[in-house]
Chain A
Amino acid sequence: AQSVSQHNHHVILSEAASLELGCNYSYGGTVNLFWYVQYPGQHLQLLLKYFSGDPLVKGIKGFEAEFIKSKFSFNLRKPSVQWSDTAEYFCAVRLNSGYSTLTFGKGTMLLVSP
């Protein structure tokens, strides 16, 4: 069965620390990859996406992610986090075929202390 695995359920960082959130998926075939973010009290929103081309994609608020096909990974990174990055982050994957829907990981709650 298709699945998406996020390595950490909770991450606590101090401001200015670097961030890397792991995401691995188990799918055969071509995939589209996404990171969504949910800030406290707000709706889920798209942070960045990968469909094809350059495997290093940049999103909003200084986030980036790298697609490594051989490792089935799509890790999210940010060089220096801010208190305002406190949120829950979800990795999501869909097969690039037919009526394929998004499968989400279980989420990583990031807490950034000032």
Chain B
Amino acid sequence: DVKVTQSSRYLVKRTGEKVFLECVQDMDHENMFWYRQDPGLGLRLIYFSYDVKMKEKGDIPEGYSVSREKKERFSLILESASTNQTSMYLCASSTSWTNTGELFFGEGSRLTVL
């Protein structure tokens, strides 16, 4: 079975803290994605990566950065967390660029910034 694992299901951080959200997929997928999900706003793409060490900005990259040092791992970094980054963060992966619509999602990481 396909598996996308997000390291933390729930996090509580303080304003200004640096936050790392980790995501690992075990399917040898080329593409990985970070979305945030907010009620009434759906899913919005933060960053994506189509290869190791490659990254591309999504629709809302401000305040975030990413790292992909290994194919299976894609990290989302909040350099200085702010309250408006309180959200559910979803990691996803897909097999290849011709198949980027078929995403496999993790369980999500719910981040609260106080």
Contacts and interface: CB of A to CB of B under 8 A. Distances in A.
Interface in A52-71: none
Nearest to B39: A107
Interface stretch (B10-18, B71-79, B104-112): B104-112
A45 B105 contact: yes
A55 to B, nearest CB: 16
Interface in A13-52: 32, 34, 36, 42-46, 49
Given A9-B40, A102-B45, A104-B43, A49 B50 contact: no
A95 to B, nearest CB: 10
A44 B56 CA distance: 23
Interface residues of A, number: 22
Given A44-B105, A45-B105, A101 B45 contact: yes
Nearest to A2: B59
A90 B42 contact: yes
B40 A101 contact: no
Interface stretch (B19-27, B61-69, B95-103): B95-103
Contact of A102 (B103, B106, B107): B103
Nearest to A1: B59
A45 B82 CA distance: 29
A105 B107 CA distance: 19
Interface of B: 4, 33, 35, 40-45, 48, 50, 56, 58, 90, 92, 97, 100-103, 105-108
Interface of A: 9, 32, 34, 36, 42-46, 49, 90, 92, 94, 99-107
29 contacts: A36-B103, A42-B107, A43-B4, A43-B106, A43-B107, A43-B108, A44-B43, A44-B92, A44-B103, A44-B105, A45-B105, A49-B101, A94-B101, A99-B50, A99-B56, A99-B100, A101-B45, A101-B48, A101-B100, A102-B45, A102-B101, A102-B103, A103-B45, A104-B43, A106-B40, A106-B41, A106-B42, A107-B40, A107-B42
